[in-house]
């Protein structure tokens, strides 16, 4: 189990990046498009900010560079999750789920809708 | 995807920007960044949309790419390295952006303080601290500045003082230029032939005066100022060597020998031309009647000191008194001195400027206290946020650092805005300054001024930021989180705020007392009886050139014709002429022997004299006290008569109840007193009336040009008949220049300009201090009662009446105000003495002013405290109790 001291709550953008890469390795522009699609315009993505986060995640051992697939643009860097990255993403998802459950228990969700 | 060519250019430009990114970031994600940029640019509509995409892209690259820490995770608590600082910077900016109103308040307060202080400093720096614009300015001195010299005395003073290397006498003089289109009035100066050499200046064209030109007959030469050369001669270099029609009492034409450069700063009067002072060789001091050399500037010999020169000049003055007792009085000798020219030139405004700088420093301190208060209040409001950080492991130095970064950001914004503000304020200050304010051209925002602004900002930020940062950072995570949930704050921070309020109110008292004293001075000065009625009077000065009006009769007939034309105008009720304009410092005084009067020290008193046309005293409405005024029959044919003022009678004939018929001697003329009139403040507001004699210009036929003084009919604006007045003068002779046309009221207004200037500047600071003080008291009370809303609610619920609750709320805020008023009064009693030399008819400890200031500040503070307290007392107890 990763302990919470090594991995404090992830930044929303970091969590988004990890989620996009859960399915398969991808590259920068595709990641941005995917996040923008998923957020439906609620989140403004500043590209350099995104790539800085990606770099940070790499430095923490959560992402790694992957070989480019056949026929892809050779200039592009493809990224995928490391086993540690997959674990942290899962822990964060669980933490958020627990958080939402607690909010629900406190009637927060009902209040928000009413 | 098809791209338009401009997108290709935009991409290339963006690619270049990517190169500024850290290498690994650019290499790995450069193509992605570029693609995303191109997509957004393609989706943008119109130039505005594309500009927005560009702005965001640059911000993105700058903030996230360049400023971002290298390969470090973005944990909240990172203690070391540049990365942490930069992160703090970003976090600070974000946090400030979340409270735009409070941030704007802090930035605005700082900007006002820094702006006002910077503008004032620019004046102090430019006028008092910048060296005079001459080579080796420290060697230039003013010689016996209180005394009027004649030409021979200038020469003898130099001979008597080996500490002086060279000397120049100096006197403002009016000229008329004809033959160059419209006749022109020309400002000039008579100077010693060494004038330019003393100042270390050389003409850019031709030469300056040589020693031979200081003798009557050889002195018909002139040096032109650069501005006048351009204006009147179209910058024609061939003018050097030419003879021009520049006339005054001793010559009608003069040869141009040189032109000064544009960078040459004249000593005073801003002359267009310089002509040599002349003196027949071997003239004795006692025989020289050129008593108009008002100022002397000398250059110290190498190695000589001001003290040595002063000692030698004092010795010479005693000598003159002993051998020629009629020339100088004992009092003159006591005032004999040599002073650094720089100090002498700015003596009139030194105290004014230092007082302003003192006042503005206090205002800056008040701004700091206000900002500190606002930061404290903000800090209290952020207890929860900071507790969260502490709970996540942030240590105290880290939190202090974050808070300091925030206050530094505020300081930088306030400082930048303040500097921008100071440019405008400096312009306003220069526009507001009286025209005779020395060295006005030196006031501006330059490197040293910017350095001052930077220092002031830094100081303000540190003073205002450190204490709140240390205070706010002392968080107890558990307690604070619990309280934050209930919406109540800590009580600990409240120990500091009363001290800040006390300090602020005390500073405000000091500044407002100063401005109050100045405003009262201005009021006293300008509401004083002048002795004449300037309302409805308009003045103008025709300058008939001596070439066309060579003798007294020609002169007098010219003025008689002008007066006749002016009086014929339908707007004019009556008109007369006088040779010195009232309300200015212009003065003529002559050794006069009143019948039967003996001075205690044996000297002949020098008495002010005014040459007038018959009807002048009636036109300006000087009250006649005894006898009669001057009449048209008082001309060359009749007995010489004189009208004196009451001050003359009081001084020289105090025992005489009826001075009519007594005589006085002036030069070789004996005149009989035919009338006594009231005293007039001839030198403007604030000047004391002196003994004075009025002679008819038909009897004392001296060389003088005259001012026409016309009284317009009731209900007519004195500025209205300007055109008609000029035409009336030109109807007599179209080649005579007309100058100085203005209502006499504005001449008098100018005489109070320095006091008005200081009153306006200090009044502005006083208003600012009042405003800052009110904001401070308001903020602190609002915050204090806001924190105690719960307590008030409980008390109201328990049956306390709202008025009692209100009383408690206001009472607590007013204790520090009262202490501040007391401390401020004591401080003001000391500091207002600085103003003593510029106050008029008001004591520095004027009780009325002090009382009014206490009442005003007290009322403002009460209002500022009542407003938020009222809101707090109106709280609904049910709401509060539910929250508790």
Per-residue pLDDT of B686-705, as tens digits, reads 888 889 999 998 887 776 78
pLDDT digits (tens, 9 = 90+) for B63-111: 666 555 443 333 333 444 445 667 777 777 777 777 777 788 888 888 8
- A59 and B36 within 8 Å at the Cβ level: the answer is no
Tokens of B392: 């996540």
Q: Which residues of B792-828 are buried (b: 16+ CB within 10 A; e: fewer)?
A: bbebbeeeeeeeebbebbbebbbebbebbbebbbebb
In angstroms, the CA B24 to CA B70 distance is 10
CA B348, chain centre distance (Å): 11
Q: Which residue has the tokens 């390795």?
A: A25
Q: How far is A34 from chain B (nearest CA, A)?
A: 12
What stretches of B555-668 adopt beta strand conformation (E)? 572-578, 589-594, 606-612, 624-627, 641-645, 663-666
What pLDDT sits at residue B67?
57
- A54 and B29 within 8 Å at the Cβ level: the answer is yes
Can you give the residue ranges of every domain in chain B?
5-68, 77-131+351-490, 146-336, 492-527+756-884, 537-751
- φ/ψ (deg, to 5) at B546: -65, -25
What's the burial of B673, exposed, middle or buried (CB within 10 Å: 0-12/13-18/19+)?
A: buried
Q: Which residue has the tokens 């040096």?
A: B223
Q: Is the ipTM of this complex over 0.85?
A: no
In angstroms, the CA B759 to CA B523 distance is 10
In angstroms, the CA B89 to CA B308 distance is 60
Residue B43 CB neighbours (<10 A): 10
What CA–CA distances, in Å, run from B225 to B233, B247, B265, B530, B547?
A: 11, 17, 10, 38, 23
| A-B contacts (CB, under 8 Å) | 70
Pairing of strands B669-677, B295-300: unpaired
- A28 and B21 within 8 Å at the Cβ level: the answer is no
Q: How far is B64 from chain A (nearest CA, A)?
A: 5
Q: How far is B399 from chain A (nearest CA, A)?
A: 19
Rg of chain B in Å (alpha carbons): 37
* Four-CA torsion A13, A16, A18, A23, nearest 10 degrees: -160
Question: What share of chain B has pLDDT > 90, as a percent?
Answer: 28
Instruction: Nearest chain B residue to A65 by CA: give it.
Output: B28
B474-479 contacts, C-beta under 8 A, 24 or more apart? B474/B396, B475/B383, B475/B386, B475/B387, B475/B390, B475/B399, B476/B387, B477/B387, B477/B388, B477/B390, B477/B391, B478/B387
Instruction: Nearest chain B residue to A9 by CA: give it.
Output: B75
What pLDDT sits at residue B247?
77
In angstroms, the CA B97 to CA B103 distance is 8
DSSP, res B671? E
Tokens of B216: 């009557």
Closest residue to A51, CB basis, from B33, B56, B73: B33
Name A37's Cβ contacts closer than 8 Å, sequence gap at least 6. Answer: none
* Contact residues on chain A for B68, CB-CB shorter than 8 A: 48, 52
Closest residue to A59, CB basis, from B33, B64, B73: B73
Which of B206-210, B595-599, B807-811 comes out lowest in average pLDDT? B807-811
User: Which of A32, A44, A47 to mutate: most B Cβ within 10 Å?
Assistant: A47
Tokens of B93: 């900016």
In angstroms, the CA B625 to CA B641 distance is 16
Instruction: Nearest chain A residue to B71 by CA: give it.
Output: A56
pLDDT class of B348 with cuts at 50, 70, 90: confident
Phi-psi map region of B881: left, alpha, beta (phi>0 left; psi -120 to 50 alpha): alpha
In angstroms, the CA B35 to CA B15 distance is 10
Interface residues of A toward B, Cβ cutoff 8 Å, are 8, 11, 27-29, 32, 46-49, 51-56, 59-60, 73, 75-77
Tokens of B27: 């290499």
pLDDT digits (tens, 9 = 90+) for B161-188: 999 999 999 888 878 887 776 777 888 8
In angstroms, the CA B582 to CA B533 distance is 11
In angstroms, the CA B635 to CA B657 distance is 28
* Contact residues on chain B for A28, CB-CB shorter than 8 A: 29, 31-33, 36
Asked if B765 and B528 touch (Cβ cutoff 8 Å), the reply is no
Residue B606 pairs in a beta bridge with B591
In angstroms, the CA B316 to CA B158 distance is 10
CA torsion sign for B125, B126, B132, B134 is positive
* Contact residues on chain B for A73, CB-CB shorter than 8 A: 31
Which of B112-121, B175-184, B280-289, B594-603 comes out lowest in average pLDDT? B175-184
What pLDDT sits at residue B824?
93
Closest residue to B64, CB basis, from A11, A52, A75: A52
* Contact residues on chain B for A32, CB-CB shorter than 8 A: 32, 36
* Contact residues on chain A for B25, CB-CB shorter than 8 A: 48, 51-52, 55
- B72 and A59 within 8 Å at the Cβ level: the answer is yes
What pLDDT sits at residue B223?
95
Taking CA B629 as the corner, what is the angle to CA B623 and CA B635, rounded to the nearest 5 degrees? 155
Half-sphere exposure of B381 (CA within 13 A, CB side): 14
pLDDT class of B833 with cuts at 50, 70, 90: confident
- A60 and B73 within 8 Å at the Cβ level: the answer is yes
Asked if the model's pLDDT at residue B143 lies above 70, the reply is yes
What pLDDT sits at residue A5?
42
- A77 and B72 within 8 Å at the Cβ level: the answer is no
- A8 and B37 within 8 Å at the Cβ level: the answer is no
User: Which of B35, B70, B77 to mutate: most A Cβ within 10 Å?
Assistant: B35
Asked if B741 and B726 touch (Cβ cutoff 8 Å), the reply is yes
In angstroms, the CA A65 to CA B173 distance is 89
Mean pLDDT score of chain B, rounded to an integer? 83
Mean pLDDT of A73-102: 87
In angstroms, the CA B406 to CA B408 distance is 5
Instruction: Nearest chain B residue to A78 by CA: give it.
Output: B28
Asked if the model's pLDDT at residue B477 lies above 80, the reply is no
- φ/ψ (deg, to 5) at B223: -110, 135
What pLDDT sits at residue B489?
43
- B29 and A46 within 8 Å at the Cβ level: the answer is no
DSSP, res B734? T
Which of B24-33, B420-429, B751-760 comes out lowest in average pLDDT? B24-33
Asked if the model's pLDDT at residue A3 lies above 50, the reply is no
- A55 and B25 within 8 Å at the Cβ level: the answer is yes
Task: Sketch out chain A's domains with CATH numbers.
Answer: 12-113 (1.10.10.10)
- A59 and B71 within 8 Å at the Cβ level: the answer is yes
* Contact residues on chain A for B24, CB-CB shorter than 8 A: 55
Query: Which segments of B61-194 does DSSP mark as H helices, in order?
Result: 81-98, 100-124, 151-160
Asked if B730 and B738 touch (Cβ cutoff 8 Å), the reply is yes
What's the burial of B589, exposed, middle or buried (CB within 10 Å: 0-12/13-18/19+)?
A: middle
- B60 and A51 within 8 Å at the Cβ level: the answer is no
User: Which of B15, B23, B29 to mutate: most A Cβ within 10 Å?
Assistant: B29
Q: Of the ranges A40-44, B287-291, B298-302, B524-528, which is most confident?
A: B298-302
- φ/ψ (deg, to 5) at B869: -65, -40
The SS3 call for residue B361 is helix
Mean pLDDT of B440-463: 79
Looking at per-residue pLDDT, the higher value among B829 and B704 belongs to: B829
Query: Which segments of B832-846 does DSSP mark as H helices, in order?
Result: none
User: Which of B74, B389, B485 to mutate: most A Cβ within 10 Å?
Assistant: B74
Tokens of B214: 């200081």
Looking at per-residue pLDDT, the higher value among B682 and B788 belongs to: B682
Question: What share of chain B has pLDDT > 70, as a percent?
Answer: 90
User: Which of B14, B60, B72 to mutate: most A Cβ within 10 Å?
Assistant: B60
pLDDT digits (tens, 9 = 90+) for B486-519: 444 444 445 677 888 888 899 899 999 999 999 9
In angstroms, the CA A68 to CA A83 distance is 19
What CA–CA distances, in Å, run from A88 to A1, B457, B525?
A: 9, 47, 82
Instruction: Nearest chain B residue to A13 by CA: give it.
Output: B74
Mean pLDDT of B606-624: 92
In angstroms, the CA A27 to CA A66 distance is 10
Looking at per-residue pLDDT, the higher value among B617 and B218 belongs to: B617
Closest residue to A29, CB basis, from B35, B64, B73: B35
- B24 and A77 within 8 Å at the Cβ level: the answer is no
Name B858's Cβ contacts closer than 8 Å, sequence gap at least 6. Answer: B817, B821
What's the burial of B830, exposed, middle or buried (CB within 10 Å: 0-12/13-18/19+)?
A: exposed
What pLDDT sits at residue B89?
76
Q: How far is A96 from chain B (nearest CA, A)?
A: 18
Residue B171 pairs in a beta bridge with B190
Asked if the model's pLDDT at residue B136 lies above 70, the reply is yes
Q: How far is A113 from chain B (nearest CA, A)?
A: 23
* Contact residues on chain A for B56, CB-CB shorter than 8 A: 46
């Amino acid at each position: 189990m990763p302990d919470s001291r090594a991995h404090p709550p992830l930044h929303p953008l970091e969590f988004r990046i990890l989620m996009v890469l859960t399915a398969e390795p991808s590259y920068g522009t595709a990641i941005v498009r995917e996040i923008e699609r998923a957020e439906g315009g609620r989140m403004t993505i500043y590209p350099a900010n995104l790539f800085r986060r990606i770099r940070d995640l790499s430095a923490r051992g959560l992402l790694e560079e992957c070989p480019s697939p056949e026929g892809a643009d050779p200039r592009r860097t493809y990224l995928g999750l490391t086993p540690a990255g997959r674990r942290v993403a899962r822990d964060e998802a669980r933490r958020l789920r627990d958080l939402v459950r607690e909010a629900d228990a406190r009637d927060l969700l009902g209040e928000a809708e009413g | 995807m098809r791209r338009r060519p401009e997108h290709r250019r935009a991409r290339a430009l963006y690619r270049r920007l990517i190169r500024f990114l850290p290498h690994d970031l650019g290499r790995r994600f450069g193509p992605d960044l570029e693609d995303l940029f191109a997509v957004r640019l393609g989706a943008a509509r119109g130039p505005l949309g594309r500009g927005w995409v560009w702005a965001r892209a640059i911000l993105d690259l700058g903030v996230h790419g360049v400023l971002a820490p290298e390969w470090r995770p973005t944990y909240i608590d990172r203690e070391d390295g540049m990365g942490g600082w930069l992160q703090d910077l970003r976090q600070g900016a974000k946090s400030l952006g979340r409270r735009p109103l409070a941030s704007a308040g802090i930035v605005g307060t700082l900007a006002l303080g820094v702006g006002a202080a910077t503008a004032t400093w620019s004046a102090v720096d430019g006028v008092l601290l910048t060296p005079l614009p001459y080579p080796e300015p420290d060697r230039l001195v003013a010689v016996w500045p209180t005394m009027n010299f004649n030409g021979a005395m200038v020469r003898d003073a130099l001979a008597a003082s080996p500490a002086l290397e060279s000397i120049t006498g100096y006197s403002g003089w009016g000229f008329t230029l004809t033959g160059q289109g419209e006749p022109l009035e020309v400002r000039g100066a008579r100077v010693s032939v060494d004038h330019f050499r003393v100042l270390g200046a050389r003409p850019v064209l031709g030469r300056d005066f040589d020693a031979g030109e200081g003798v009557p007959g050889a002195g018909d030469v002139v040096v032109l100022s650069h501005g006048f050369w351009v204006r009147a001669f179209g910058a024609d270099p061939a003018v050097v060597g030419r003879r021009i029609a520049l006339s005054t009492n001793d010559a009608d034409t003069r040869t141009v020998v040189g032109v000064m450069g544009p960078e040459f700063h004249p000593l005073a009067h801003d002359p267009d031309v310089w002509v040599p002072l002349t003196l027949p060789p071997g003239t004795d001091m006692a025989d020289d009647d050129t008593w108009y050399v008002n100022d002397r500037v000398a250059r110290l010999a190498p190695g000589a000191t001001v003290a040595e020169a002063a000692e030698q000049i004092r010795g010479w003055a005693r000598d003159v008194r002993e051998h020629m007792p009629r020339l100088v009085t004992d009092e003159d000798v006591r005032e004999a001195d040599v002073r650094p020219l720089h100090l002498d030139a700015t003596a009139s405004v030194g105290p004014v400027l230092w007082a302003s700088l003192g006042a503005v420093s206090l205002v800056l301190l008040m701004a700091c206290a206000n900002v500190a208060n606002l930061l404290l209040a903000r800090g209290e409001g952020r207890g929860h946020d900071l507790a969260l950080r502490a709970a996540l492991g942030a240590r105290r130095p880290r939190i202090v650092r974050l808070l300091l970064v925030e206050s530094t950001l505020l300081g930088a914004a306030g400082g930048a805005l303040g500097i921008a503000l100071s440019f405008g304020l400096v312009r306003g200050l220069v526009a507001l300054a009286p025209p005779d304010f020395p060295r006005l051209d030196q006031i501006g925002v330059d490197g040293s001024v910017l350095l001052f602004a930077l220092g002031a900002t830094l100081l303000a930020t540190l003073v205002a930021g450190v204490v709140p940062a240390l205070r706010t950072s002392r968080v107890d995570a558990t307690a604070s989180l619990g309280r934050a949930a209930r919406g109540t704050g800590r009580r600990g921070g409240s120990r500091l705020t009363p001290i800040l309020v006390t300090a602020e109110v005390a500073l405000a008292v000091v500044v407002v007392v100063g401005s109050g004293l100045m405003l009262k001075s201005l009021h006293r000065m300008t509401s004083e009886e002048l002795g004449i009625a300037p309302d409805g009077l308009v003045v103008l000065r025709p300058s008939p050139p001596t070439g066309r009006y060579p003798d007294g009769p020609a002169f007098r007939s010219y003025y008689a014709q002008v007066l006749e034309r002016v009086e014929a105008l339908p707007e004019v009720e009556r008109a007369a002429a006088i040779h010195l304009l009232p309300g200015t410092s212009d003065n003529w005084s002559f050794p006069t022997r009143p019948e039967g009067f003996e001075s205690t020290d044996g000297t002949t008193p020098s008495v002010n004299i005014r040459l007038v046309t018959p009807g002048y005293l009636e036109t300006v409405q000087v009250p006649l006290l005894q006898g009669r005024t001057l009449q048209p029959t008082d001309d060359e044919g009749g007995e010489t008569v004189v009208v004196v003022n009451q001050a003359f009678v009081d001084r020289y004939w105090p025992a005489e109840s009826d001075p009519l018929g007594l005589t006085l001697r002036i030069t070789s003329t004996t005149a009989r007193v035919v009338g006594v009139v009231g005293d007039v403040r001839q030198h403007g507001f604030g000047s004391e009336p002196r003994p004075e004699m009025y002679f008819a210009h038909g009897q004392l036929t001296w060389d003088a040009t005259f001012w026409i003084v016309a009284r317009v009919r009731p209900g007519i604006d004195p500025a209205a008949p300007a055109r008609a007045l000029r035409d009336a003068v030109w109807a007599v002779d179209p080649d005579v220049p007309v100058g100085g046309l203005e209502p006499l009221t504005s001449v008098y207004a100018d005489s109070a300009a320095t006091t008005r200037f200081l009153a306006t500047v200090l009044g502005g600071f006083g208003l600012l201090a009042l405003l800052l003080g009110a904001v401070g008291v308001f903020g602190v009370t609002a915050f204090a009662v806001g924190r105690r809303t719960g307590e008030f609610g409980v008390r109201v619920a328990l049956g306390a009446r709202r008025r009692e609750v209100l009383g408690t709320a206001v009472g607590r805020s007013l204790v520090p105000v009262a202490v501040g008023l007391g401390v401020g009064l004591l401080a003001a009693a000391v500091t207002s003495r600085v103003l003593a030399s510029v106050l008029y008819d008001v004591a520095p400890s004027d009780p009325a002013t002090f009382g009014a200031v206490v009442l005003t500040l007290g009322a403002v503070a009460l209002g500022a405290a009542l407003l938020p307290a009222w809101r707090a007392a109106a709280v609904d107890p049910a709401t509060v109790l539910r929250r508790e």
